[in-house]
Amino acid sequence: MTKKTIIAANWKMHKMADDVIAFFQQFLPLVEDMKASIWLAPSPVLLQQVLNITKNSSLKIGAQNISHEIYGAFTGETSIEQIAYLGASFVIIGHSERRRLFQETEDQITKKIGLTLTYNLTPLLCIGETLEEREQGLTQQVLRRQLSSALKLFPHFQGAIAYEPVWAIGTGKTATLEIIQETHQHCRDILKTLCETGEDTPLLYGGSVTENSAKHLKGIKEVDGVLVGGASLEALSLTAIIQGLTQ
């Protein structure tokens, strides 16, 4: 990893306001001098609180999702304008839970990337194959389709990509180092054909990353960081992951 390592935390629908205070009381002093770029996406309800608590730190705070529309009658959705106004700096887009559980389409994902870039926030685009697709030998094809569809309108894409095999998310099954290395190389090759910025686009690995697996990911070419769900909820385990990847 030659670029600044990114450790992105996805808190999903976890934590209450009191948990947030306790987390940062422990976490901020621990990571004060770390060289990594630390990104954290709380639930939208906690976003303002997290932004306030972290305002004097170098943490980047973002949203887990936005609507593909800016304004209007879209009950329960959150607009990029609202997220940007609060001062968030990135948006997770196309997470497999959104694609699978909320039927998010590739067309909506492209729109969300466009909106995020228009508002000068950084999109963190998630891609990844299901177990069936891997077993049928379709992984490369699926990743190419997801990347091409999402990025076709953005030849100068200024964002990051997280490769998250769906079968590794929240299952405790991290992909083997061979799979990660091979798949990241494949993603890099596609990115280079799609975007002028493809060579330098940060490529993160996600899926059951823990303190243990983080150490092994450090040496892998084309792994520029990680996207962490479950293991990001405790300050100590997130800190250990950052240390594993950077020290």
DSSP H helical ranges for the chain: 17-31, 47-53, 80-86, 96-101, 106-118, 131-135, 139-151, 177-194, 211-217, 235-246
Specify the residue, 161 or 231, whose C-beta has the smaller distance to ligand PGA: 231
Q: Is 95 a catalytic residue?
A: yes
Q: Is 184 a catalytic residue?
A: no
By Cβ distance, which residue is nearest to ligand PGA?
229
Contact between 169 and ligand PGA by CB under 6 A: the answer reads yes
Of 50, 56, 245, give the one whose Cα is nearest residue 227.
245
Q: Kindly tell me which residue out of 10, 108, 146, 239 binds ligand PGA, with binding defined by CB under 6 A.
A: 10
Of 42-50, 105-113, 163-171, 193-201: span binding ligand PGA (CB under 6 A)? 163-171
In sequence order, the 6+-apart residues with CB closer than 8 A to the CB of 90 are: 39, 41, 60, 62, 63, 116, 121, 122, 123, 124, 160
Contact between 164 and ligand PGA by CB under 6 A: the answer reads yes
Of 35-43, 147-155, 196-204, 225-233: span binding ligand PGA (CB under 6 A)? 225-233
Contact between 65 and ligand PGA by CB under 6 A: the answer reads no
Of 245, 189, 240, 237, give the one whose Cα is nearest residue 219.
245
Where on the chain is the footprint of ligand PGA (CB under 6 A)? 10, 164, 169-170, 206-209, 227-231
Catalytic sites, residue numbers? 95, 164
